[in-house]
Each structure stands twice: as C-alpha cells, then as structure tokens.
C-alpha cells in the first residue's frame, strides 16, 4: 500500500479522543522507526513543525534535536514563544540561532521580491546545514509534511521545511502528520498541550515579514512593520475576528507621505491592512471590518509605532490581488 496515500477508511480527526488515539499510534510508530537514534527537525514555530516537534518529544524526548533559526523576519514574539514552549515547558533539545544580522545584511538594498525570497530561502538552508554538520549521529530528518503538501506535489515532496540538504547527508524521513489535513493537525496539537496561539496560528510565508516589508528591507521599516502587525493582531483577537477572518496582516511599502505630529510636519510610511477569507487560498474575499475597529487600530498604530503616519485598508479580492503583496 502507498504510505503517502490516506486510506479511505481513515476517520477525520475532530475530537480530543480521536487525536489521542492518533498520537498513541504515531508515538509507537516513531519509536519503532527511530529506535535509539537521533532525529533532526527544523522548527519554524509554524503549526506543522510545532505539532511534529511536540509529538516526537512525547515519543523520543531528547533524541529529537530541534533547530530554530530566527532570520529576523519573524512576527513580534514568535521566536520567544518557540523558546518558551519548547525549551522551557517541554524541555526540548532545542538549538536556537539568532541569525538576524546575517539575513538583514544580505538583504540590504535588495528590492526585487523574487531575489529577496531566494536570499532568505538560500541562507536559511545554509544556516541549518551549518548547524546540522556540527551534530553527531543524526540518522533521521523529521518534517512537518501534511497531506495537502503531498496532494499538491503528486507524492513527491521537495524538502520545503529544510531546503536542499547536501547530497552527502542522507537522512531517512520521519513525517508523522503526513496523512493529516490542516484542521486535524490543529486538533492533534491541542491534544498534545500546545498553546492555542501556536496551534491556531495563521499561515505565514517562509520569508516571513520579508515579503511584507515591500521593496528593499531596512531595519527601521521592518521594526515599524513588526510593531504595527502586532497591534493589528491584538485588536483582531480582542474583537473576536481571529475566529472569522482567515488571514490578516500589515504590509508597509517603501514610500513616505507627509503628516502632522505635535503640530509639526513629518514624513512617515503607510501601513496597509490586509484581511481576507478563503477556503483554499486560490481565491479570497474581503472581510467587512467594523469602522469603529478600523478607527481604533488606526489611532493605535499612528500613535504607538515610530515612523508610521497613515493606515490604509486593502479592499481587493483575489483574483485580481494576490493575498500577499509581494
């Protein structure tokens, strides 16, 4: 039987009981596959890699080595949350690399979106490889592959979590959630005790804020974007919109407009709010956000975030506008 095909008889995991049964089954399978050997995982802090990490910690504890690379383009508090949950609470064997300077130095002056993505993806692989090559006796590579990844890639999956590991590093793969859909992965994550903020996390592109800090990334504008995005997320959460809106974020373009602050003219960037609903990400509709909330978000961002003096709301559905700006 094709191990990459979900059996017709497999029940959709919707309850804590079904999740617990799945966890027990996978813990046994992982122990049988891995034995006493070590497993390496690139832990991004995303839903899939986090659930795989928690599942493997339950199965093999310290035999799992998690590597979290902070490329400096994470949302506010995300790397801190990975350290808090995995190192402090789950006592994981976690290697944390703050590579912020390395990434931002390489990205300085680069404004072509495709080139930015290539630099971020390529450097991520380099950093991960450097760490992997320092480790002794790793036999397995764990990945947060889920079923839609397999369906989209026709059963052949590029190492999307890790990228091109060198040819001489031959690992056997450990992919415990590869037959699950995203909603099932979230149920399993909750059953493993991961916090809702991590398990219900929105989709976040690999290059992170790199594709939302439009044009050439500068540290001051990236910082303004991170702070504005945190305010938007906090206000959406408080208003309960995190339950009804699929994805929402801020993009900050590389352009300035004039504004007034403390009776003086000053130039600042605009923050653009994007809030969309979708079932498959192929098309997306625009969510109606109450004006009172938009006013509150605008007031907070312009008052609290250094360098931002306007807030705009993007009303463009997909198709015509993609979900991300870059």
Q: How far is the C-alpha of 61 from the C-alpha of 91, rounded, in Å?
A: 8
Peptide bond before residue 274 is cis, with ω within 30 degrees of 0: no
Given pLDDT bands bounded at 50, 70 and 90, which one contains residue 18?
very high
State which of 130, 165, 199 marks the end of a domain: 199
- Residue 324 inside a domain? The answer is no
Strand order in the sheet with 93-98: 93-98, 64-70, 38-42, 138-142, 172-174
Is residue 321 assigned to a domain?
no
Strand partners, 247: 276
Q: What is the pLDDT of residues 68-91, one digit of tens each?
A: 999 999 999 999 999 999 999 999
The two three-digit tokens of residue 298, written as one number: 């605008």
pLDDT over 90 at 272, yes or no: yes
Task: Tell which of 146, 165, 199 closes a domain.
Answer: 199
CATH number, domain with residue 105: 3.40.50.620
Residue 191 and residue 223 in one domain: no
pLDDT tens digit sequence for 205-246: 889 999 999 999 999 999 999 999 999 999 999 999 988 898
190 is in which domain, residue-wise? 16-199
3-state secondary structure of 55: helix
Q: Answer yes or no: do 220 and 92 share one domain.
A: no
Residue 191 shares a structural domain with residue 253: no
Q: 261 falls in which pLDDT band (50, 70, 90)? A: confident
Cβ proximity of 197 and 85 under 8 Å = no
- Based on the fold, state whether residues 99 and 226 are members of the same structural domain: no
Both 112 and 21 in one domain: the answer is yes
Instruction: Provide Rg for the chain, Cα atoms.
Output: 21
Q: Who has greater pLDDT, 176 or 133? A: 176
Whole-prediction pTM: 0.87
320 inside domain: no
167 confidence band (pLDDT: 50, 70, 90)? low
Share of the chain above pLDDT 70, in %: 94
Answer yes or no: do 178 and 222 share one domain.
no
User: Quick one: 175 and 32 in the same domain?
Assistant: yes
What CATH code is carried by the domain that includes residue 259? 3.30.300.10
Say whether both 191 and 232 belong to one domain.
Answer: no
CA distance 280 to 277: 9
Q: Looking at residue 158, what is its pLDDT?
A: 43
More confident call, 134 vs 282: 134
Kindly indicate the confidence band of residue 155, based on its pLDDT and cuts at 50, 70 and 90.
very low
Query: How is 165-212 classified by DSSP, letter by letter?
Result: --TT---EEE-TTTT--HHHHHHHHHHTT--HHHHTPPP--TTGGGGT
163 shares a domain with 88: yes
Which of 166, 199, 232 delimits the end of a domain? 199
Domain co-membership, 240 together with 92: no
């Amino acid at each position: 039987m094709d191990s990459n095909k979900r059996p017709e008889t497999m029940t959709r995991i919707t309850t804590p009981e079904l999740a617990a049964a799945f966890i027990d089954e996978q813990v046994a399978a992982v122990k049988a596959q891995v034995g006493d050997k070590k497993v390496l995982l690139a832990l991004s802090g995303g839903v899939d890699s986090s659930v795989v990490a928690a599942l493997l910690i339950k199965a093999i504890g310290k035999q799992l080595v998690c590597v979290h690379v902070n490329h400096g383009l994470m949302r506010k508090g995300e790397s801190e949350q990975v350290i808090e949950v995995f190192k402090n609470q789950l006592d994981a064997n976690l290697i944390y690399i703050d590579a912020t300077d390395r990434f931002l130095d390489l990205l300085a002056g680069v404004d072509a979106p495709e080139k930015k993505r290539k630099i971020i993806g390529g450097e991520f692989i380099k950093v991960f490889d450097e760490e992997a090559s320092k480790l002794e006796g790793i036999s397995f590579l764990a990945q947060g592959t889920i079923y839609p990844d397999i369906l989209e890639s026709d059963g052949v999956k590029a190492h999307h979590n890790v990228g091109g590991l060198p040819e001489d590093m031959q690992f056997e793969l450990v992919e415990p959630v590869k037959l699950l859909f995203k909603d099932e992965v979230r149920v399993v994550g909750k059953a493993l005790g991961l916090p809702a903020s991590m398990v219900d996390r929105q989709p976040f592109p690999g290059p992170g804020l790199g594709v939302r800090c439009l044009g050439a990334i500068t540290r001051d504008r990236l910082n303004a974007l991170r702070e504005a995005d945190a305010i938007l997320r906090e206000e959406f959460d408080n208003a309960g919109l995190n339950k009804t809106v699929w994805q929402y974020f801020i993009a900050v373009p590389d352009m300035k407009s004039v504004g007034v602050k403390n009776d003086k003219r000053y130039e600042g960037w605009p923050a653009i709010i994007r809030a969309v609903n979708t079932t498959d990400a192929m098309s997306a509709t625009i969510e109606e956000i109450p004006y009172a909330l938009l006013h509150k978000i605008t007031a907070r961002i312009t008052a609290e975030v250094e360098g931002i003096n306007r807030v705009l709301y993007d009303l463009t559905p997909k198709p015509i506008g993609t979900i991300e700006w870059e």
